[in-house]
Structures are given as structure tokens and as C-alpha cells.
Chain A
Amino acid sequence: MGVRLQVFGVVLLGLLVSGGAGLLMHRVEMDNAGQALDRRVAAAQESVASTAQRYVDAVQLTAGSLEALPKIDAASFTTATAPLGQLWLPGATSIDLVVSVPDSSVAAAQADWRALGAAGLTLRGTAGVGRHYFTVLQRTLGEGAGPGAGADAGDVGQDLTGSAEASAALERAGRIGLPAISDPYVLPRDTGLPPQDRQQSVVLLQRVVDRVTGELRGFVQMTVRMQDFFVDTMLQPSRELLDVTLSALDGSGWQPMARMERHDAGAGDLRRTVLVQVADQQWQLAAGTDGTALIGADGHLDEGMVFGGLALTLVTALLVYTLATSRRRAEDRVTQATADLRHQATLLSAVMNTIGDGVVVFDPDGAAVWVNPTARGLLGHDIDRHPPAEWPELLEAYEADGVTPYQFRALVRQQVESQIELVVRGRRLDVRLRTLVGQDGAGGAVAVLRDVTELHEADEKVRASEELLQLLLDGARDYAIYMLDRQGVIESWSGNAERLTGYRADEAIGHSYGMFFTAEEGAAGVPRRILDQAAEHGRVEIDGPRVRRNGSRFWAHGLLTAVRHPDGTVRGFVKVSQDITERKTAERAVEQLNAELEVRVAERTADLREANAELESFSYSVSHDLRAPLRAVDGFAKMLALDHGDALDEQGRRYLARIRAGAQHMGDLIDGLLAFSRLQRQEMASLRVHLDQLVADVWEELGVERGTRDITLSVGDLPDAQGDPRLIRHVVANLVGNAVKYTRDVSPARIEIGHRVGPLSGEVMYYVKDNGAGFDMRYADKLFKVFQRLHRAEDYEGTGIGLALTHRIVLRHGGQIWADAVPGEGATFYFTLPAYENTGHTGHMLLEVGG
């Protein structure tokens, strides 16, 4: 029941509304149409006036340029009228020069104009007229227009007096001096056309006068077919929606000149009439149309409204009926769907809240509308509470390099899946973005975020270690590193291995490493044995000749290291090979060099021995031969003293004593030199030297020098030294003797002998200290030089050889000697010797000295 009532109500209401709306719409339409017509008529009026004015202007301009000509002939007319050919003047058929000719001179004028270029001009005068107005020159315009003048269309030579309308216009134009327009008439040239093509035309006339005398030279005439003119002029303002008629007034009323009808003829219930002023004439423009013609495509809005309303009413009623009957079903479906959706949403929400991946849902504008807890944790912010513009600052996200700030881009409205890596808050996120496109095109996107930091770091580590390994393998350019299986079959290969052996990877892998061995070694089973040794001992080092792919040999140093399975069985070997050919060559060169060196050393040693022998015999003979004259001096001086001493006075005997002392001193010098030079050549023993015993012996020997002097000797504990006892005895004798000698003027004299641990390990430092004369340290550098003395001979005798000899002995033992002294206070001499090492060699013990 309710449904029927509803439908009835809907129908009734629809009818009322449709009818009322139709009436109202009709009224509105009519008002609107009147206003539209007014606008269009005004536009048409403006169009006719302005277009006609262009024709008038063209005629005036032509007349003006002809007036400027001193002489009008065919050529100058053509030139003067040339611009008109460029103008768009619809309906204008020609522009002409019309001249006035008295009936009596028609023949002469014809001859004259023919002479002026109007070829073939024939003047056809109207009978019974005293003065003719002939068209003598002509330029056709519009379609078929050509440059030629006077060679047209049949009305050149025509007399305008044949037409009442043209004559009247001629009369006005000549009188007013301004353009005049004729009443419409059919041009004589158009009279031959079929009636439907015959148009009303007008002529525009402007007189041409001599500017000096004011004498009339003729008229410029433009002929215009009005229908052509009108159609073109009206096309725009009418849009074929109007009936328009252009009329001119003549004696009998408004004469239509041109007419244009609208596309669909209708009631024509709207009309307007306006006047158009053109030159000296007034034209009437009449327009008519239907009220509906001007609005919309069909102009039947009011009717459409009624019928549409009815239809709508019916449909609505139907719809209401359908809706009412199926609402329950729809409600049920909606309820079910809502429940399903709720269920799905719950499931989805549960999934989203629990999965380890971050999920962000974006709306089509790119704003985050939903963020699951994982995403919130990964991003550190609820980005759904912030517009995308704030994200760059909020998230501080970087691209995979961790440095370049990530530029958030707008989501594209296409189905796109993309994957990027971002670094957010120090964590590396793998982001998979999938844009969603709904049925309407708008979609949004879902982003799935996964923390791949650890994965990435692990990858990085693997990559770094692989890189490192590769660097190592490549970097160790001199080493070929490759893998063998338990049987010695090559499993891996490297660029360096190829460089070393000449075999490419495909030529090496799968082959036994035995191919690098020489044929002899291969036959002897060397490769096999090496593997077995490496398996047994873990690793094995081998040197040997190897063969390259091209057969050339090189010397290789190889290291085989066994690689084991977890259970300890040998899985294979790592082989590291190095080309040591150069090293081998160098070693051989060194060996050869050493051999040569030994030969050379032997040669040199022989040379040296020879030289030494020569030197020895030289110094031997020197010492002997130098002594001989000395002996003579001393010997005979002695004889002189003994045999003839009584004959000499005291002074003479003193002189003799001086001679003998000099000779003896020279003998000492020669002895010292001899000892000094001999030390260079003498071979040194390396025995245990008891310094304390040596000191005791020397002290005993110095008994004569000491005499009855008051000397306190203190000897500390003296460790044994290693060296030549005879030579070291000289050192001790020299230093202690010096101490005795240089304390001669001191009483009591004190001499102290002791030791300290040497500055270097394995040596002992001894010292001999006295409180004697000392010396000036400024001259310490002369202390150990031969014949250099720091004291005058009359103060302390000496040869200047003793300390030099001591110095040399200490040096030959690898020790050092130096002194510290203050003049008048004493001197301390330090020297170092190798400490005695108890090597247990009894042979040395037997040769011990001083015990």
C-alpha cells in the first residue's frame, strides 16, 4: 500500500513540476531570444556599414590617385588601381574610369582612348542623348580578376546614361564631389543571366577633377553585386540564424537588394528593422527569426522540460517502487558485507599489528593514513600524524649510501612496484612500495619496511672479506695461490697462477699439479710424495725447477698446506707458489762473487804477507843498520872516557857522558819503533789473562825504579781478561811504570789499580790511577800518538812509544783506552778488554799465563 501511495505521489508531483517548469522556461526563452536578436541585428548593422565604407574608401582612394596623375591612360590606370586587386571586396565586379563625351565627339574620343591604351575600345552611345558617359578603362575585381584593363566583361564602352539609376548617381556624384551610390538595378552585363542568378547591383561613383583647374576629368566607378556583398557581410553576424534583408529606398518604397535566409525556416515571430547609412544613401536592414532559434542547439528547452519531467517522473516512480521492494534485501546484504569487512579488517589489523615488517598505507596525496606498530618503531615517529612535507626533517632518512638525504617524492598514479633502501636512524631499511590504483584511478600506496641492517652488515662483512681475499690474491703478485684436491688435481686457479705458469684456468682446473714438474721429477713420483708429506706433516715447503706451459723453466718456492675435513681427513691442499728464479740467480751470483772474493782475499793476503815480509826485513835491517853507527859513537866515546878520561877536564868528560846518553836514547827509540811495527804483524793469542798476577809481576820488576820511594799501591779485585798475555803484560807494565815514573816528585805517592764493569757486555774496564804530575787534558789527543810526549825529556825521560804501543794493543783486542787527568793532581788511565769467558776449552787452560 505504502509503495503505491509513494509512486502515485511521485507521479503527481512530477507532472506538476514538469508542466510549470515548461511554461516558465518558455517565457524565459522568449525574453532571451529578443535580447539575442537585438545583439545580432546590431552586429549585422555594424558589419554592413563598416564593410560598405571600405568600398567607398576604395573608390575615393582610387579617384585621389587618378587625380594625382598628370595624364590618365591605360597604363597609369592599371598602376593606380593595382592596390584594389589585393583587397577583399566581395561583390565588387570592377573598377572603371567613366568619362563624359559630347555626342558630337564620340568618334574622336574613341580614337583618343584607343591611343591612350584602351585597345579595341568601342563607344556605344545611347541614342538621343546630348552628352554620354562612357566607361573607357576597367579593372575587373573579385573572381576572374586580371590585371588587364578595358579588355573585359562587355560593359567597357557602355554609356551610363542608358541606366536611370546610374545617371542619377552620376549627377549626384558630379554635384557633391563626394562618393555617390546608385539605386539598385541589374547591371546591363547581368541582364543575360538566368533570373535566379540575376542580382541587384549598385554603382559607387566618385568624380575625378583636375586639381588645378577644377575641370572634371571623369568618374571612378565601382560596380557591386549586392547579393554577393550581403552574403559575405552577413555570414558572421547572422550565423544563419536570422532572416535578413537589405533594402534601398527608391521612389516606390524600400526595394530589397539582397536577402539571406536562416537555415531552418520557422515561425519568424521576432523581427527588427534598422537603418544603415552608406555614403549618401540610407539602406534598411530587416531581420527576423523564431524566439527559439537563438538559444541552445534545438531551441526546444521548454518542451524538453515537460517531456523530460514526465519521463523522469515515471523512472523515479519505478525506482521508488524497486527500491522499496528490494531495500530489505539490500539491507541484509549490506549487513553481511559490513560484517565480512569488519572481520577482514580485524584480521588485517591483527596481522599488521603482529608482523615483523613495517607497513605504511598512503592515500593518493601521499599522506600516511595508517602505520603499523613495527613501522612506527622503525621510523621512530607516527608519520600518519604529520603531513609528508614534514617527513624529511622528522625522519632524517638517507639513501643507501647513508649520506645523501632521501628526497620524498610524490606517489605516482600508476600501478608501480619499487624497492629502495633507506637509512633511517642509523638502521638500514628495505622499503618496498606498491602503489594502489582504484577503479576511479585514485589509489595511494602501501609501503612494506624491513630492517636489513644486520643482513646488510653481514653482507658487507662477507663482501669486505672477499674483497680482502681478492686483494691479497691479486696483491701478492709474486705468489700464485690455488687449491688442490687430495689427489693433487687443481680445483681453483688465479690470475697470478696464470701469470706464473702460463696456464689459463680452463687449462689448469681439473688437471694434476704434477704438470708443473719436470719430466724427470714427474717420473720419479715427486709430486705424489710431496702431497703425502704435506698430508702427513700439515705443510711442506719445496724448492725446485718447474715448467711453464710454453716449456720454459723457472725456479719455484712452493708451500703446500693441507686442508682438512672436520673429522681430520685431508680434503685437499692450498698451494702457494713463488717464482724465485731471480732470487736463485742472485744467490748463485752471490756465491760466485763470494768465491771470487775469497780468491781475491787470498791473493790480497798473499800480497799483504809479502809486503809484511818486506816491511819486516826492512825494519830489521833499519834497526840493525841504524844501530851500527850508534854503536860506534857510543863504543868509541866509552873508549875515550876509559882510556883518555884523565886527559880531559871535567867539562870534556861531561860532554862525553852526554854523547853516550844520546846514543843510548837513540837505541831505546829504535827498540820501541821495532816493537811497535812488529805488533802490527804479530799474531795474537786469545788466552785467559790473570790481570792481578800480571800486576804483581810488573810491580816486582819495577823494584829498581821504585827504589826507596814511599809509594802506596792499592790493587782491587781484577777479573781475568781474554787476550794475548804477552801484549797485555806490556799494557800493564807501561801504565804502572808511567804511574811510578810520574809520581816521582810526589810523596807519598798513591797508585790505585781497579776495575769496573765495562760499558759493553762481555768486557771489563780496568783503570790505573795515580796522584802524580798529571797532564793538561787539552793535549789528551796527543797522548797515544807515536813520539808525542806531554812532558819535557829533562823532567821525565821517555821515548813517546810506550803509550802508543799500549793504545795499539788495547785496540787490537777490541777494547778502548782513554785518560782523565789534572796537571799536578794526577792521571787516571782507563782501558777495556774482553772479559774472560770460561768456555771450558782445556786447551786454553793449559796455555794460561801468569799463574
Chain B
Amino acid sequence: MKPLSNRVLLVEDNPDDLELARLAFERGRFARNVDVARDGAEALDYLFGPAAADPPQVVLLDIKLPLVDGIDVLRRVKADQRTRHIPVVMLTSSAQDRDLHACYELGANSYIVKPVDMEQFMAAVNSIGLYWLGLNLTDAHS
């Protein structure tokens, strides 16, 4: 069995949101490495480039992104055999975001209303069934 990566990819262009997410992970003592992509193109380069062999355990993907939109990134990830198994959690400004519907149809696994905090993150992780992340977190907490 292929060893699990201990990395999470956070795709976010807004520095405030990015900072708040880091703060949340820090406060939650989230042990994994959080790699950051600042736009959709960068995210795709990361996923289909050097990290292709060792994909992140989960991708937190903002819907609105410069250059390549979050939905397009999602579509490409879920359309590719190599990456389609990577869980993707959408980051949105509103739970009423009409794009969420589209995202689910494209294969998104869950969503978080920004700002990202640990409770929402854990709820999303749990809903996906990434229990190891929870364990890992428990380890980290403990």
C-alpha cells in the first residue's frame, strides 16, 4: 500500500483568507504540511507536475480563482485518472452559492464556507470519510 502523503493543498488567492486558514490550522495543531497555490494554474501545475507521483491527501479549492477558475480546476482534477481520487473540498463565500451545485455534479466531495476554521474542516473531512486525517489530528491533538 502506498504510503499516505501527509500534505494538504490549499488553493486560495485572497491573502486574508489564506492567513485566516493558516491561523485556524495552527490553532488546531494540524500537523500536516499545507501547500498553497495562489491561483488555478498554479494548482494544476502542482497537481499534474512534481506532486503527481505523491498527491496531497485533500485539496481545499476556492471556487473563485484568478487565471483558471476553481470549477475548471475541479473539472480537470476529476476528469483525470491520476487525480480523480483526490478528495476536493470547495471553499465558498456563501452556502447559497449556486456554483456549489455544479461543483457537486463535477465530483466535489464537500464544501466549507469561508473563513476556514477547524470545526468546518473536521466536519468536511469526516463527511468524506478521511478518518485517518481525523486520527492524525487526534494524534496531533493528543
Contact = CB atoms under 8 A, between A and B. Distances in A.
Interface stretch (A347-355, A487-495, A510-518, A631-639): A631-639
A627 B27 contact: no
Contact of A675 (B17, B20, B96, B99): B96
A610 interface: no
Given A631-B114, A639-B23, A624 B93 contact: yes
Given A623-B93, A624-B64, A624-B93, A631 B16 contact: yes
B127 interface: no
B14 interface: yes
B115 A674 contact: no
Interface string A384-427: 00000000000000000000000000000000000000000000
Nearest to B99: A620
B13 to A, nearest CB: 10
Contacts of B64: 621, 624
A639 B14 CA distance: 17
A634 B115 contact: yes
Contacts of A634: 115
Nearest to A674: B96
A674 B99 CA distance: 13
Interface string B51-68: 000000000000110000
A627 B20 contact: no
A680 B75 CA distance: 29
A340 interface: no
Contacts of A623: 93-94
**Residue of B14, B27, B63 with most partner-chain A CB within 10 A:** B14
Interface in B1-48: 14, 16-17, 20, 23, 27
A632 B20 contact: yes
Contacts of B23: 635, 639
Interface in B62-96: 63-64, 93-94, 96
Given A621-B64, A642-B27, A628 B93 contact: yes
B16 A628 contact: yes
Contacts of A614: none
A678 B96 CA distance: 11
Nearest to A624: B93
A268 B119 CA distance: 190
Contacts, number: 46
A607 interface: no
Given A621-B64, A623-B93, A642-B27, A631 B17 contact: yes
Nearest to B115: A635
A671 interface: yes
A627 B93 contact: yes
Contact of A639 (B20, B96, B98, B114): B20
B96 A631 contact: no
A408 to B, nearest CB: 107
A744 to B, nearest CB: 26
Interface in B110-133: 114-115
Contacts of B96: 671, 674-675
Contacts of A632: 16-17, 20
Nearest to A672: B96
A726 to B, nearest CB: 12
Secondary structure type dominating chain A contacts: helix
Contacts of B14: 628
Interface residues of B, number: 16
Interface residues of A, number: 19
Nearest to A626: B93
Contact of A635 (B16, B63, B97, B99): B16
B94 A627 contact: yes
B111 to A, nearest CB: 14
Nearest to A675: B96
A629 B94 CA distance: 14
Contacts of A636: 16, 20
A415 B27 CA distance: 146
Contacts of B94: 623-624, 627, 670-671, 674
**Residue of B14, B20, B115 with most partner-chain A CB within 10 A:** B115
A31 B84 CA distance: 183
A635 B113 CA distance: 12
Nearest to B27: A642
A620 B98 contact: yes
Interface in B94-111: 94, 96-99
B20 A631 contact: yes
Contacts of A674: 94, 96
B103 to A, nearest CB: 14
A631 B115 contact: yes
A407 to B, nearest CB: 103
B46 to A, nearest CB: 23
**Residue of A631, A634, A639, A678 with most partner-chain B CB within 10 A:** A631
Contacts of A635: 16-17, 20, 23, 115
Contacts of A621: 64
Contacts of A627: 93-94, 114
Nearest to B16: A632
A675 B96 CA distance: 8
Contacts of B63: 624
Contacts of B114: 627, 631
B85 to A, nearest CB: 29
**Residue of A623, A627, A670, A678 with most partner-chain B CB within 10 A:** A627
B98 A628 contact: no
Contacts of B99: 620
Interface in A581-637: 620-621, 623-624, 627-629, 631-632, 634-636
**Residue of A628, A642, A675 with most partner-chain B CB within 10 A:** A628
A285 to B, nearest CB: 164
A636 B114 CA distance: 13
B67 to A, nearest CB: 16
A634 B16 CA distance: 11
Nearest to B62: A624
Contacts of A678: 98
Interface in A652-675: 670-671, 674-675
Contacts of B27: 642
B45 to A, nearest CB: 24
Interface string A128-146: 0000000000000000000
A624 B114 CA distance: 10
**Residue of B23, B27, B63 with most partner-chain A CB within 10 A:** B23
A639 B16 CA distance: 12
B25 to A, nearest CB: 13
A629 B17 CA distance: 9
A671 B63 CA distance: 17
Contacts of A642: 27
B17 A628 contact: yes
Contacts of A628: 14, 16-17, 93
A675 to B, nearest CB: 7
A366 B115 CA distance: 131
B60 to A, nearest CB: 15
A639 B26 CA distance: 12
A289 B9 CA distance: 188
Nearest to A670: B94
Contacts of B93: 623-624, 627-628, 631
**Residue of A621, A624, A634, A675 with most partner-chain B CB within 10 A:** A624
20 contacts: A620-B98, A620-B99, A623-B93, A623-B94, A624-B93, A624-B97, A627-B94, A628-B14, A628-B17, A629-B16, A631-B16, A632-B16, A632-B17, A634-B115, A635-B23, A635-B115, A636-B16, A636-B20, A670-B94, A678-B98
Given A627-B94, A631-B16, 16 more contacts: A620-B97, A621-B64, A623-B93, A628-B14, A628-B16, A628-B93, A631-B17, A631-B20, A631-B115, A632-B17, A635-B20, A635-B115, A636-B20, A674-B94, A674-B96, A678-B98
Interface of A: 620-621, 623-624, 627-629, 631-632, 634-636, 639, 642, 670-671, 674-675, 678
Q: Which 8 A-B pairs have the closest CB atoms?
A: A632-B16, A627-B93, A635-B20, A635-B115, A624-B93, A631-B115, A628-B14, A624-B64
